[in-house]
Copies of this chain bind each other. A is one copy, B any other.
Amino acid sequence: MTVSLSPVDHRWMRLALRQAAVSLGATAPNPGVGCVLVRNGQVLGSGRHRRCGGPHAEPEALNDCQQRGHDPRGATVYVTLAPCTRHGRTPPCTQALIQAGVARVVAALADPLQDDPQALFSQAGIAYEVGCEAPIAQHIHGGWLKRVTQGRPRVTGKWAASLDGFLGPAAARQQWLSSPSSQAISRRRRSAFDAIVVGAETVAVDDCRLLATGSRHPRRVVISARGRLPVRSALVTSMNQAPVWLIHDDRAAADHLCALRDLGVGLMPVADAHDVDQVLQALAAAGCNDILVEGGAQVHGAMLAAQAYDRLELYQSSLSLGHGRAISNGPQRQQSFVPEIPPRLSGNTVVSHWLRVDGGGPC
Known contacts A318-B362, A326-B326: does B350 contact A339 (CB below 8 Å)? yes
A139 cross-chain contacts in B, Cβ below 8 A: none
Cβ-based interface call for A166 (8 A): yes
A336 cross-chain contacts in B, Cβ below 8 A: 318-320
Decide if A348 touches B332 in the complex (CB within 8 Å). Answer: no
A337 to chain B, nearest CB (A): 5
Cβ-based interface call for A330 (8 A): yes
Known contacts A165-B165, A326-B165, A339-B350: does B318 contact A309 (CB below 8 Å)? no
Cβ-based interface call for A317 (8 A): yes
Cβ-based interface call for A322 (8 A): yes
Cβ-based interface call for A78 (8 A): no
CA A327 – CA B320 in complex, angstroms? 11
A322 cross-chain contacts in B, Cβ below 8 A: 301, 304-305, 330-335
Total A residues in contact with B, Cβ cutoff 8 Å = 57
A220 to chain B, nearest CB (A): 24
Decide if A309 touches B305 in the complex (CB within 8 Å). Answer: no
Give residues 170-209 of A contacting B (CB, 8 Å). 170, 175-181
| Chain A interface (Cβ < 8 Å from any Cβ of B) | 161, 163-167, 169-170, 175-181, 300-301, 304-305, 309, 312, 314, 316-324, 326-339, 342-345, 347-350, 352, 354, 362-363
